[in-house]
Structure 1
Amino acid sequence: MKIDHLVSQIHKKKSFLCIGLDTDLDKIPKHLLTEKDPIFSFNKEIIDATNQFCVAYKPNIAFYEAYGLKGWKSLEKTMDYLNSEHPNIFTIADAKRGDIGNTSTRYAKAFFETLNFDSITVAPYMGKDSIEPFLSFEDKHTILLALTSNEGAYDFQTKRIDGQELYKEVLEESKSYKNAERLMYVVGATKAVYLQDIRRIVPESFLLVPGVGAQGGNLQEVCKYGITKNIGLLVNSSRGILYASNNMDFAEAAAEKAKNIQREMEIELNKLE
């Protein structure tokens, strides 16, 4: 998907909401466990109920790999459903891959070609030759982990190297990669105050911002420091939407949560006009 199309969808839906499909059989409503494919059944109902309020879905790959072949089949069915029924929605493989070049190429083929995701999250630690294979795919996007929302982010990401924090080194260096215009970055909502510095380095790049909702991130603060004239944000909510209810009304409850966030986003977008 081209960025212009994503921006168009954001304006059309008045939303930059990304919904994380972190589907956990221990948390989904019990009545779905009798379905032939409970993971897909849950995902489909969530997608059907919430697609009008979001512009992206982000399956966390670990939640599918954990169930082996059955989980992978559920992921394939979810992606087939999204690509056939909702082709205008941006899809993110939250896989956090990153390895030597030929391995990264295979990861890229798996997610961009076999599963037809629009983007994938990638760990930057191994550097340029582990990232550029992902960037070689036209109209696909690589979302580099820059400053994450977890507590352990402070272990390395904010450490200073020659006077500058490591996450800033990652941002600066990544701009020199071939096809760097296809890069996006993960910046946790719980690190919103860092967004001013991040925007000085990557002023127009799209940022995937997890941590709003269950993890305590603040949407208004994220927008204050991170929004651009082309929006430049995909704000993710997973548990807060998926598990708004564990009863028969789970899809309706998820839709209500998504709608509430979309309304907040519409207010923020109106401030740009």
Structure 2
Amino acid sequence: MNKQALVEQIKKKQSYLCVGLDTDLTKIPTHLLKEEDPVFAFNKQIIDATAEYCVAYKPNIAFYEAMGPRGWDSLQKTLEYIPKEIFTIADAKRGDIGNTSKMYAQAFFEQMDFDSITVAPYMGEDSVTPFLEFENKWVILLALTSNKGSSDFQHLRVDSEGTALFERVITTSQSWGSTEQLMYVVGATQAQKLQEIRAIAPDHFLLVPGVGAQGGSLEEVSKYGMNKDCGLLVNSSRGIIYASAKEDFAEAAGKAAQTLQQEMAVYLGEIL
């Protein structure tokens, strides 16, 4: 999916919501466990209930890998079920030497046909560029994450001017790819930094996890992170897909997604 198509979906749905499909067999409603493929049965109903309110889905690959071949099968069926106009993100956090990255890129872009993949930048340019060689596919580079340990490295000062490591990642990587193929991960709990990041990367899309269960503020993220095209994909996982553990889980997920979409529509009305 190219940037224009993504922006058009945001405008059409008045939403920049991404639903995280972090599907855990120990957390889905117990009545689904009798299904032949409980994970896909759960995802299918979540997608049915939320597709009209979101513009992206983000399966966390670890939740599927943990189940072995059965999990990969559930993931593939989920991808095939997601409506084609909705952006898909492989939350895989790959990044290795060039030849290995090339194989990861082929796996997620050619075999599974994801629109994008999260990539770790620690090994530098040659570990990232293989993912950027695919037309209408996106790299979402980890920049400033929302976990507690992010301060261990991401805020370290790397020069005499006080540039933080996450800022260096953003500025350096912009020479690797364009705004049509490169996004950045910025955690919602780091919303106070979004204004600084927008000064460095005014035109890139930002994937912002951490709204909902992790305590991030959609209002703050929208205030400091939006650009003229919206430029945001705000993810909520647990707050939507586990809104209920009962048989009404899909209905509850739809209501949770709709609540976020309606708030997003207000913020979008201020720029679009």
How much identity, in percent, do the aligned residues show? 64
Secondary structure, counterpart of 2:148 in structure 1: coil
Distance, in Å, in 2 between the alignment partners of 1:101 and 1:180 is 22
Distance, in Å, in 1 between the alignment partners of 2:201 and 2:178 is 15
In the TM superposition, residue 113 of structure 1 has moved relative to its aligned partner by 0.7
Contact 1:135–1:142 (8 Å) recurs in 2: yes
Distance, in Å, in 2 between the alignment partners of 1:133 and 1:178 is 11
Distance, in Å, in 2 between the alignment partners of 1:177 and 1:14 is 31
| Change over 3 Å in CA distance of 1:171–1:112 after alignment to 2 | same
TM-score when normalising by structure 2 = 0.98
Summarize the alignment of residues 61-76 of structure 1 with structure 2, pairs less than 5 Å apart: 61-76=61-76
Distance, in Å, in 1 between the alignment partners of 2:179 and 2:229 is 18
Distance, in Å, in 1 between the alignment partners of 2:79 and 2:221 is 29
Q: Which runs of 5+ in 1 are unaligned?
A: none
Residues 1:59 and 2:78 are matched in the alignment:
no
In the TM superposition, residue 181 of structure 1 has moved relative to its aligned partner by 4.1
1:257 corresponds in structure 2 to: 256
Residues 1:117 and 2:117 are matched in the alignment:
no
Any idea what the Cα deviations from partners look like across 1:5-52, whole Å, max 9, x if unmatched? 000000000000000000000000000000000000000000001000
TM-score when normalising by structure 1 = 0.98
Residues 1:199 and 2:198 are matched in the alignment:
yes
Residues 1:104 and 2:104 are matched in the alignment:
no
For this pair of structures, how many residues does the alignment match? 270
Distance, in Å, in 2 between the alignment partners of 1:136 and 1:25 is 35
2:141 corresponds in structure 1 to: 144
Any idea what the Cα deviations from partners look like across 1:135-175, whole Å, max 9, x if unmatched? 01010000000000101000000111112100000001101
In the TM superposition, residue 179 of structure 1 has moved relative to its aligned partner by 5.1
Residues 1:232 and 2:231 are matched in the alignment:
yes
1:46 corresponds in structure 2 to: 46
Distance, in Å, in 1 between the alignment partners of 2:31 and 2:235 is 27
2:240 corresponds in structure 1 to: 241
What amino acid does structure 1 have at the position aligned with 2:199? R
What amino acid does structure 2 have at the position aligned with 1:214? A
Q: Which runs of 5+ in 2 are unaligned?
A: none
Distance, in Å, in 2 between the alignment partners of 1:32 and 1:262 is 27
Any idea what the Cα deviations from partners look like across 1:213-272, whole Å, max 9, x if unmatched? 000000110011110110000000000000001111000000000000000000101111
What amino acid does structure 1 have at the position aligned with 2:158? I
Residues 1:126 and 2:147 are matched in the alignment:
no
Q: 1:157 pairs with 154, 157, 164, which one?
A: 154
In the TM superposition, residue 81 of structure 1 has moved relative to its aligned partner by 1.3
Secondary structure, counterpart of 1:164 in structure 2: coil
1:272 corresponds in structure 2 to: 271
1:90 corresponds in structure 2 to: 87
2:218 corresponds in structure 1 to: 219
What amino acid does structure 2 have at the position aligned with 1:99? D
Residues 1:4 and 2:4 are matched in the alignment:
yes
Secondary structure, counterpart of 2:136 in structure 1: coil
Secondary structure, counterpart of 1:244 in structure 2: coil
| Change over 3 Å in CA distance of 1:223–1:180 after alignment to 2 | closer
Contact 2:209–2:235 (8 Å) recurs in 1: yes
In the TM superposition, residue 177 of structure 1 has moved relative to its aligned partner by 1.1
Contact 2:240–2:257 (8 Å) recurs in 1: yes
Distance, in Å, in 2 between the alignment partners of 1:233 and 1:43 is 24
Contact 1:96–1:122 (8 Å) recurs in 2: yes
- Output the aligned Cα RMSD: 0.8
Distance, in Å, in 2 between the alignment partners of 1:267 and 1:178 is 32
